[in-house]
Amino acid sequence: MISAGMSCQLIHYTHEEHDKFFDLCKKFDFLIVRCNPGQIKADGGDQGKFDNAMREVRKAGIQAWPSPDVMEKMGAKDALCKVATMNCGLEDTLAYYSEEDFGAGFKKTMAFQPRVIKQNRGSSGEGIWIIKLKGGNYCATFGERSCENDEVLILMEANDNHEEEHTVGEFIEFCVNGCNDKSGTWTSKGVGKYLEGGKAAGGQFVDQRFCPRIVEGELRYNQIGDAVVGIIHKKPKEGGISAVGGAGSIYTYYGPEEPKFKNLTDNFLKIDLPKIMPALDLANEPVPLWWTTDFILASPEGTPTEEEKWIVGEFNCSCVGISKCLAAYCKDDTPNAKFDDIAPEDKEEAKRYGDLMGVKALGIMEANKK
């Protein structure tokens, strides 16, 4: 922002100084919100109170990127259901908001093909499960049969690629009510209870077909507004499925006009992108300033490159990371990571992304003033 010629201040939100924070916000032309879902609650604050105050800021004519509604609806896992009929979607993608719907729907989809279950909350792969029937006894057509409660599942969680075995009944119980005598013993860092609070509080999860070619990696499109600024191919470490940061994944970087992904880029930008915000009930909102779309390869092996189908695995606009800065990411095995650990060439690329965002933001604000 500063490189683009604007004043830019870093201000921290603490729930104890909620009113003071939002009084200060009113002095700015626009705000960039950098906060992951769950962080305010984990700190003892109220996410709903924060979001409602940010909505009032928006009503006062101050742009917020992303606004609470954009962050909520784009980040919600049922966004995958709303784009299911587009080029970037799969039609057998279901969303669950109640225990009854989940029990009936999951038993039917699980009997048909391996699945990916994604909770709506959480981040970095926690509560995203890749699930297979241990017996491998899938039916030939969807709806031909439903699983029984005692059928055994092999589950892998995407946050750390750990594996567990549970029955269908235990998995359903864990997702709905968490760890108890009925759900058995779990080694997951998560606590389940994915429907807690109901739909209004984000209690939901999505059931999507597992695409086995995920082991070849996924594509992350880094986007500033309606422009792709870079593409990252994220390949899981050997034997893994999840390619989240910090899981030993291998990252390969491409420019926004990479020829091997031209078919996906053209279909997404020219055909799907104009439909996405209306499909998510955000027709009056612009696309986020800084956001990503993750794509998974859904075509069978042997499909010609120009005909390959890539589907959306996730939209993210809440607190997007810059992958070139991963060397500065503090985690259990790198507790002392710092900015200077980033290679000089990676710092340059990260700066290029940041500079582009500043130019784009300034252009949007100047257009709004006119």
Write the pLDDT tens digit of every residue in 196-233.
988 888 888 889 889 888 888 899 999 998 889 889 99
Per-residue b/e over 13-51, b at no fewer than 16 CB within 10 Å? beeeeeeebeeebeebebbbbeebbeebeeeebebeebb
Residue 243 pLDDT exceeds 90: no
The pLDDT of residue 239 is 61
Percentage, residues of the chain above pLDDT 90: 62
Average pLDDT (23-39) is 90
pLDDT band at 323 (very low <50, low <70, confident <90, very high): confident
The pLDDT of residue 80 is 87
The pLDDT of residue 370 is 76
Average pLDDT (262-284) is 94
Residue 339 pLDDT exceeds 90: yes
Better-predicted residue by pLDDT, 368 or 11: 11
The pLDDT of residue 4 is 96
For 33, what's the count of Cα atoms within 13 Å in the CB-facing half-sphere? 31
Cα dihedral across residues 260, 74, 35, 27: positive or negative:
positive
The pLDDT of residue 199 is 84
Domains and CATH numbers, the chain: 15-65 (no CATH), 94-211 (no CATH), 213-369 (3.30.470.20)
Average pLDDT (304-318) is 89
Phi-psi region of 187 (alpha: psi -120 to 50; beta: other; left: phi over 0): alpha
Residue 21 pLDDT exceeds 90: yes
Better-predicted residue by pLDDT, 24 or 214: 24
Model pTM score: 0.75
Find, among 92, 349, 157, 317, the residue nearest to 221 by Cα: 317
- Looking at every residue in the chain, the average pLDDT score rounds to 90
Distance CA 171, CA 112 (A): 17
